[in-house]
Structure 1
Amino acid sequence: MAELERVPPGVDPTVPSSARVYDYLLGGKDHLAIDRAVADRLLAVAPDTRLVARANRLFLTRAVRHLAEQGVRQFIDLGTGIPTSPSVHEVARAVNPACRVIYVDYDPVVRLHAQVLLADVPGVEGIQADARRPKDILGDPYVGGLIDFEQPLGVLMVGLLHYVMDEEDPAGIVAAFRDRMAPGSHLVLTHGMAESHPEAIARLTTATANSPAQAVFRDRARVLRLFDGFELIGPGLVPVQDWRVDDEDDLNLLDAPPRLRIDGGVGVLR
């Protein structure tokens, strides 16, 4: 007899979660059968997607390290996902221990992890909130108590906005944060691209239709418009595995363009 899965309180085991699908692709342990089914359908037509997920995570760590080296000491990580080490605060504090981080996600599984992992970490907070309601996040007392909006800030939207439908105004979400950010602040963003293989897009769209894991694949011009008001730093908007790769990044297995393409970029507010 098969062992029943343990389902955390508040989680519907019939609905896939983008955070848990990503966790599965990264080799984590916090996912359910429905999440594995979604990921496996994608892997069937795009078997390099695990490497793309890893490249997306490495992009995040490279970008956070760069921001910390530029003097950014505070970060808001939107759509945090299930914690993976090294986390944003670990990367930033390796550069400067004074860095402060707010983690934001609406998934109850992510919230449970944050409560356990961040309980005794000063200067780091996790809140459960929906990125599609930026005013709620910007007005949250934990955010206001930790983030000084008069100082440079790093806002991370890594693997987030392709889960925001057009009618939910992804550009408006970016603008709400941009309007509160001081000069010298940065936007870090990755997005699933319409230039991906059509079969991979179709398979993922079918598997996640009408669920929180449903994604919109936008073309390069539309993703670039999300950076309106920011100046892209080199090398611009590129596939995540190509953004400022260093010798520590073991991505040599991605020796051909992946079927599922994710591009990333970093913009600075002047």
Structure 2
Amino acid sequence: MTLLNLALFQARPAFRSVDEALSELDSAMSRAAASGAEMLVTPELYFSGYGSSNAVRAAGQVQGSPALRAAGQLAARHRVGLVLGYPEKSGSALYNSASVFDRGGHLISNYRKVALPNEFERDCFTPGTGPEAFDFEGVRCSILICYDIEFPELARRAAFLGTELLLVPTALRAKWRFVSDAIVPSRAYENAMFIGYCDYAADESNSQFSGTSSICAPDGQHLCRATGSEDLVFATIDTSAVHLRKSDFDCLQDLKRFDLATPPIPQIA
């Protein structure tokens, strides 16, 4: 059994400068540390804000950039691990990425979003190659970003890597709130994993995003949920719940009993 105190930073939606993003992140990590959090997750593209091609290109960071080093230094100073959504430059390509820093500020994983859902993202970003697993404080983790979670194949790929906690920075629009209401708990249940799903805030001044960041348990129940405005939400991850869920029935093991060929996808005129 391993316990991990997880915090989600449901940040206000804004097109930030990197300095503004780091300043707000410093404050959020300070509050998270004071509440006992060991890891904090930001929304998708937190470093730039979501929806502006100019903003994401201006905020693009190469690995090891001063801004990413500064984010790692915040993790080390507050002793809080960090999942940071940002636009990543690599050669001529730009990726919708999330870097993971451990509590010592060391980069331990970097994920690039696979599923690009709209013209803005397809115009800006190159798709990544899928989830990888990493260990954080004794918990097996993976990253997906936003639209990725709507594909059961990607969450299942993470599950086959032994993932106990799936971390999902997102920029979920209010009209698709059913994703946080129904799809995220379903992914947690069908893959026997915890999911931390971190969105932007929604309030009277900006109702574009859903503002329903949540942490779901392997039985599909919400452990905590944000209510709309800028917020930090917390829950304790107890990996014994993963093993308890699998002791009842293990979908991943039972799946091996099936011989299901994948049919071709029909073309619809």
TM, length-normalised to structure 2: 0.38
Higher share in helix: 1
Higher share in strand: 2
Structure ranking higher on relative contact order (CA contacts 8 Å, 6+ apart): 1
